[in-house]
Each structure stands twice: as structure tokens, then as C-alpha cells.
């Protein structure tokens, strides 16, 4: 959830907007100002400041979010708390927080918050429609002095002089009028001749066309065969709209969703004998999470994501294999995604599909407690990392966090921390982690 949009809306109407447990944005009216060096005029405006000492929840921001998103007040407070936790983790990692149209927040060397406002928007409603402008300097006195100096050097004398009559201009005007009238008459005559010629040509063409229609024969050839390609939805990630005991009700639901523009279909019958209807199926997990967030906000807040491979019909039973405790406790003394043999980065898929008996170790992680972490995402750039965390937060995932692996230069997203390896590996099979479809692993952090 992006708080800056809601904060920006409230700054137009209020002088203090507080983010609970984080700080408050304050505004103060500034009168019109002029820059003498650039001759720029600035309209009245509001200056924005940030005070980290004001952290008490006054309910203003939560009430506004609840009204806009049509959610309970308590749910809005929980969303704000989750976002504040993520913002604080960004600051501890040394990143700069950018609040669009408000300003940038960062930490200095003494861990004090620094705020640099931006001036893209004028939050003073009285100045709506006014913008800054530049006016050139007026030099009236200089021009007056120059004229006075010229008059002193070159005096101007005014004398009366009778104008001479020019009779040839009268004859030229009469001749011009006569030529214009003659040209107009000739033009009308020419246009009338063209219209008469066109009328005769059109009548002749219509007569020839009537004769050809009477002699025409018609031949109807068979139409070519039309081939329609119908695409079938595939993917293991399904957004569930509902489950129905009566199949006719599920068919009605599918027709209703298709009329509203969704690619709805019936997923099948679950283990409880209910007919499941989905909004659509997706190949990519991130794409499915984005679609789920949109549907929950605009159509159905009870929609949920189900991971199921509908093409898989056979079940393979694996015989449990005994693994020694020594093999389970084996650790790989290297970076998280670095091949120690070649020293090259390997892919994210290779990391999640590695042997379950090998637990990577990461050392020298800033501001993170030692332990075992369940990793649900690996990203090399900040934009993908923020989008992934935001999408999961909207679906109800809690306790999300991330840290930076200096050796591989990647961000690792985790959702839980454990004190021992066995508990961490047991969590991989928990119900809350089934949404990741096996793309989850355990790493050990040593500081």
C-alpha cells in the first residue's frame, strides 16, 4: 500500500497528517514572494516539514484510507502498521524514502531523520490555478533620459507644407475596379459551362449503367471455410470466486463473471464435493498476485489464490528415505546464490530447486538477528523487491522482511525466522506457504 497518495490528499485540507509510530507531515502558509535576481513571482503556498517526534495515532489517516478503500477502521490501521514496518526496514538499510509530490526522507550518520521537501504541488487551495512567472525589468527612466539627450543634440523643427495632388491614382483605381468586375463575370460563365458539361456526362453514365445491369449474370461461389482458434487457459495459480454445492449455480456464476469481463471457468470439484469457479488462471505467480489484489479491492474482498496443477492426474507415491542427522545438518559454507566451484551467479530457480539437505549460510548481514529464515523471493533490483513485498502484503501475508547479501549482491525476502533448522524446514510444508508452490527455501544467517 502506497501511503503517499493518501497523505498528499489530506495535506490539501489539514495542517498535520500523522503516520502512527513513524512521524508527521506539517504544513505552514507562506505568503507571495519575489526573487529579485531572476524577477520571478511566486504565489502564496504551503511549506511542508516532517517531525519524527509526533507519532501518536490521531485516526485521521486510518479513517481516510478506510473510507476510500471501503474497509473497516481496524483493517486500515493494520495496513498502515505493516507499511511503517517496511519503511523503517528501508531506512535501516540506508535507503532514501521518496514520498511522491511530498519529499524525501533518509537517515544521517547520527541516525537522525532528514527531510528534503519537493515543490511539485502547491497544497494551498486558495492559490489554485496560480503558477510562478517571470517578468522582465522595466527601464522607463533610462529611455526618457536617452530621448532628452537626443533632443538636445538634434533639434526637431516642424514646418507646414502643402501636399501635391496625384490625379493618376484616381484613374488607376477605376481601372482596377473594372478589371475585377470583368474577371468575376468571366469566372461565372466558365463555372456554368463546367456544370452543364458534368450534367450531360452523368446522364450518359447512368444510361450505360442501366443497360449493363439488364444484361448482367450473377454467379455465387461457395464461401471459404473459417477456422477459429480458441485459446485454453493454463497455469497453476487460480483466483477462486466461490464454491457451489449445486452445479447450476456455478454455471450461473461463470456467466455473470464473463459478462463483467472476466475469463471465468470451472476449476473442478474439490474434496468437499463443491464446484469451484475461478476468475482466471495464471502461469506467473506475481501476475496472479497483482490480479488478486485488484479483484479484492474492486470486486470481491473474499477472493483467494489457489495453487493447483489441473493437468496433473497421476499421483506418485515416494517411499520415505532415511536421512542421517549428520546429512540434515550439513551446511554449504558459501554465499546464498554463488557457485563456490566457479564463482559465478546462478539462477533463482536453481536456488529454490537445490538439494533439501544443503542449507546455505550467509554472514555479515547488517541489522539482522542470527537464525534460520524462510526465503520466498530473490531480487537483484529495488523496484522488483518493493513490488513483490507490496503484492504479498495486500494478500494478507504478515511478518515480511528482507536483507541484503553482500557477496551475491541480491535482496532476499523472508516471511519467518526460526531458532533451529528442523522447525524452519517443517514450516516449508505449512498451509500458509503452499501459495509459493515450492519456491521457498531455508537459509542460515550468522553474524
**Residue 218, Cα to own-chain centre: how many angstroms?**
59
Considering only residues 437 and 289, tell me which one the structure prediction assigns the higher pLDDT. Answer: 289
pLDDT at 349: 46
Residue 118 reports pLDDT greater than 90: no
CA distances from 58 to 28, 55, 64 (A): 19, 9, 12
Instruction: Report the alpha-carbon angle 145-147-153, nearest 5.
Output: 105
pLDDT of residue 105: 92
In the prediction, which pLDDT does 217 show? Answer: 47
Predicted pLDDT of residue 157: 59
| Angle formed by the axes of helices 382-394 and 285-298, nearest 10° | 50
User: Could you tell me where the DSSP H helices lie in 260-307?
Assistant: 285-298
User: How many alpha carbons fall within 13 Å on the CB side of residue 163?
Assistant: 3
**Contact yes or no for 410/369 (Cβ under 8 A):** no
What pLDDT was estimated at residue 235? 80
Per-residue pLDDT, 371: 93
Cα radius of gyration (the chain): 39
Residue 94 pLDDT level (bands cut at 50, 70, 90):
confident
**In the prediction, which pLDDT does 166 show?**
64
Residue 159 vs residues 156, 162, 199: alpha-carbon distances, Å: 10, 10, 69
Contacts of 271 (CB under 8 A, 6+ apart): none
Q: Are strands 441-446 and 359-363 parallel, antiparallel or unpaired?
A: parallel
pLDDT of residue 329: 36
Looking at 145-303, which runs of residues are DSSP E strands?
237-244, 265-269, 275-282
Compute the C-alpha angle 161/163/166, nearest 5°: 165
Q: Give the Cα separation of 70 and 301 in Å (integer).
A: 10
For 279, counting Cβ atoms within 10 Å of its Cβ (0-12 exposed, 13-18 middle, 19+ buried), the class is: buried
What percent of the chain shows pLDDT beyond 90? 20
Quick one: pLDDT at residue 183? 79
Closest Cα to residue 117, out of 129, 132, 134, 101?
101
Which residue, chain included where needed, has cell 461461389?
221
**What is the tens place of the pLDDT at every residue in 378-421?**
888 888 888 888 877 777 777 888 998 888 888 899 989 999 99
Grid cell, residue 234, equals 493454463
Question: Domains (ranges, CATH) in the chain?
Answer: 3-134 (no CATH), 237-307 (3.30.70.1070), 325-446 (no CATH)
> Quick check: 356 and 425 in contact, CB under 8 A?
yes
334-367 tens-digit pLDDT = 333 333 333 233 344 445 555 556 778 888 888 8
pLDDT(2) > 70: yes
Q: Which residues contact 329 (CB under 8 A, 6 or more apart)?
A: 421
Average pLDDT over residues 98-113: 88
Residues 6+ apart with CB under 8 A from 334: 340, 360, 361
Residues 154-210 have pLDDT tens digits of 665 555 555 555 666 777 888 888 888 877 777 777 787 777 777 777 777 777 766
With 90 as the cut, is the pLDDT of residue 143 above it? Answer: no
CA distances from 422 to 319, 329, 358, 372, 429 (A): 20, 9, 13, 10, 12
Q: How confident is the model at residue 24 (pLDDT cuts 50, 70, 90)?
A: very high
52 grid coordinates: 519524527
Alpha-carbon distance of 76 to 70, in angstroms, equals 10
- Residue 218: per-residue pLDDT: 45
Nearest partner of 4 among 72, 76, 98, judged by Cα? 98
The model's pLDDT over 300-337, given as tens digits with 9 standing for 90+, comes to 888 888 887 655 433 333 334 443 333 333 333 333 33
Task: State the pLDDT at residue 252.
Answer: 93
End-to-end CA, the chain: 32
* CA–CA gap between residue 286 and residue 262 (Å, rounded): 18
Residue 146 CA to residue 155 CA, distance in Å, equals: 14
pLDDT in tens, 27-82: 988 888 888 778 788 888 888 999 988 989 999 999 999 999 999 999 999 999 99
Task: Say what the pLDDT of residue 350 is.
Answer: 46
Q: How confident is the model at residue 216 (pLDDT cuts 50, 70, 90)?
A: very low
Average pLDDT for the chain? 78
The helix or strand, by DSSP H or E, that contains position 18, with its residue range, turns out to be strand 16-19
Amino acid at each position: 500500500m502506497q501511503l503517499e497518495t493518501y497523505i498528499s490528499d489530506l495535506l490539501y485540507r489539514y495542517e498535520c497528517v500523522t503516520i502512527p509510530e513513524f512521524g508527521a507531515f506539517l504544513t505552514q502558509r507562506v505568503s507571495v514572494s519575489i526573487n529579485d535576481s531572476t524577477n520571478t513571482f511566486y504565489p502564496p503556498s504551503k511549506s511542508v516539514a516532517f517531525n519524527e517526534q509526533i507519532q501518536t495515532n490521531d485516526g485521521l489517516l486510518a479513517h481516510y484510507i478506510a473510507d476510500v478503500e471501503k474497509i473497516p477502521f481496524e483493517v486500515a490501521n493494520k495496513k498502515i502498521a505493516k507499511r511503517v514496518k517496511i519503511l523503517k526496514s528501508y531506512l535501516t538499510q540506508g535507503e532514501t524514502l521518496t514520498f511522491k509530490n511530498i519529499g524525501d526522507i533518509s537517515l544521517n550518520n547520527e541516525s537522525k531523520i532528514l527531510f528534503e521537501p519537493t515543490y511539485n504541488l502547491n497544497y494551498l487551495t486558495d492559490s489554485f490555478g496560480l503558477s510562478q512567472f517571470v517578468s522582465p525589468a522595466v527601464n522607463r527612466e533610462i529611455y526618457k533620459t536617452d530621448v532628452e539627450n537626443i533632443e538636445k543634440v538634434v533639434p526637431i523643427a516642424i514646418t507646414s507644407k502643402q501636399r501635391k495632388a496625384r490625379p493618376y491614382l484616381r484613374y488607376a483605381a477605376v481601372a482596377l475596379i473594372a478589371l475585377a468586375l470583368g474577371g468575376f463575370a468571366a469566372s461565372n460563365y466558365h463555372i456554368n459551362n463546367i456544370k452543364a458539361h458534368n450534367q450531360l456526362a452523368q446522364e450518359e453514365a447512368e444510361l450505360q449503367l442501366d443497360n449493363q445491369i439488364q444484361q448482367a449474370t450473377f454467379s455465387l461461389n461457395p464461401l471459404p471455410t473459417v477456422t477459429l482458434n480458441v485459446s485454453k487457459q493454463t497455469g497453476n495459480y487460480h483466483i477462486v470466486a466461490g464454491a457451489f454445492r449445486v452445479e447450476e449455480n456455478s454455471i450461473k456464476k461463470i456467466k455473470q463473471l464473463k459478462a463483467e469481463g472476466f475469463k471465468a471457468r470451472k476449476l473442478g470439484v474439490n474434496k468437499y464435493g463443491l464446484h469451484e469457479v475461478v476468475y482466471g488462471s495464471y502461469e506467473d505467480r506475481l501476475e496472479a498476485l497483482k490480479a488478486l489484489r485488484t479483484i479484492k479491492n474492486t470486486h470481491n474482498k473474499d477472493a483467494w489464490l489457489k495453487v493447483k496443477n489441473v493437468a496433473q492426474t497421476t499421483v506418485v507415491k515416494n517411499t520415505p528415505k532415511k536421512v542421517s542427522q549428520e546429512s540434515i545438518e550439513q551446511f554449504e559454507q558459501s554465499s546464498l546464490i554463488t557457485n563456490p566451484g566457479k564463482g559465478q551467479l546462478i539462477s533463482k530457480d536453481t536456488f529454490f530447486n537445490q538439494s533439501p539437505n544443503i542449507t546455505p549460510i550467509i554472514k555479515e548481514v547488517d541489522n539482522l538477528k542470527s537464525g534460520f529464515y524462510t526465503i520466498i523471493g530473490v531480487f537483484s533490483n529495488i523496484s522488483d523487491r518493493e513490488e513483490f513485498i507490496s503484492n504479498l502484503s495486500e494478500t494478507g501475508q504478515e511478518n515480511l522482511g528482507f536483507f541484503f547479501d553482500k557477496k551475491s549482491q541480491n535482496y532476499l525476502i523472508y516471511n519467518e525466522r526460526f531458532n533451529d533448522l528442523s522447525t524452519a524446514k517443517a514450516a516449508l510444508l505449512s498451509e500458509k506457504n503452499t501459495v509459493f508452490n515450492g519456491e521457498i527455501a531455508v537459509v542460515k544467517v550468522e553474524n
